[in-house]
Amino acid sequence: MEGALLQDSGAGITQGNRVLLEELHRRAHGAFDVANAARILGIDHDEAGQLLVYLARRGWLSRVRRGLYIAVPLDARRSGEWIEDPWVVAERLFRPCYVGGWSACEHWDLTEQVFRTLLVVTARRVRHRDLDVQGLPFHLTVRDQSALFGTVWVWRGQNRVAVSDPSRTVIDVLDDPRLGGGIRTVADVLHEYLQGEHRDDDRLVEYGDRLGNRAVFKRLGYLLEHSGTEARSLVEACLARRSSGLAKLDPSAKESGRILRRWGLRVNVALRSPGDDW
């Protein structure tokens, strides 16, 4: 495409640049750099670099970080006025991935806490686990692609984004309580899950088995008994899956705590008593 760099008017985008952006939208799956754009548009590297910088300054591309861009929707009312839905940004930048942890807890109404940072589980190898895109904060946790199961697609505008289903969300925060904001929040999340419409004891066990971390069952069994929840079959399933080692109730907490032999668990965080209001 010759003459790729076309000057836009102050009010919108020229037809020539719109054609280029449509091509990037259609063929650049996720974020792209200068080399990707040059290949897609059939122009040389320098011309592609100038074009991307120009369009980013005009607001028709969003600069993720140095040399990496995502395309702004062409139906945006004016350039420079658009900020992407962070869920859609995550899907574009980190696929294969899903929204999980505390963000999924919010989505499924399993917590009343509000978290500004979007938590994303991705199979991509990333250099930084915390980053900012368009002023939107993200926290990334990395898993093998085989562990990206137990998700559903939800629509965010015209885009589909994967989010962990309620049962997978609970298993994830039991696997790593930091993903739920700490074990106290995780205990509240589990309580909401067990009292609500999403409860599925068999699926919890299935997902826990697939994930393969026996500490999940130690935490789950202990929390069930601590809260006095009626779930005898689920407690028995957890007991049958205990490993011989000693796990911490909350691995990120520095307190030592007492050892509960029944669960092979060091209870290093004090939880709300069963008689307290949830």
The CATH number of whichever domain residue 20 belongs to comes to: 1.10.10.10
Confirm whether 204 is domain-assigned: no
Taking only the tens place, the pLDDT of each residue in 220-230 is 999 999 999 99
| Consecutive H or E run containing 99 | strand 97-99
Q: What is the pTM of this model?
A: 0.79
**Is 93 inside any structural domain?**
no
**Length of the chain as a residue count:** 278
- The range of the structural domain enclosing residue 52 comes to 15-71
* Residue closest to 272 by CA, chosen among 186, 196, 156: 186
For residues 269 and 253, the answer to whether their CB atoms sit within 8 Å is yes
Q: Is residue 66 part of a domain?
A: yes
Residue 56 lies in a domain: yes
The total number of structural domains in the chain stands at: 1
Q: Determine contact, residues 74/21, Cβ cutoff 8 Å.
A: yes
Q: Would residue 49 count as lying in a domain?
A: yes
Q: How far is Cα 69 from Cα 264, in angstroms, rounded to an integer?
A: 48
**pLDDT tens profile 67-78:** 888 877 666 545
Give the whole-angstrom CA distance, residue 24 versus residue 31.
10
pLDDT tens digits for range 128-146: 899 887 778 999 999 999 9
Decide the pairing of beta strands 136-142 and 118-122. Answer: parallel
Structural tokens at position 102 = 């505390």
Asked if the structure places residue 26 within a domain, the reply is: yes
Phi, psi of 65 (to 5 degrees): -155, 180
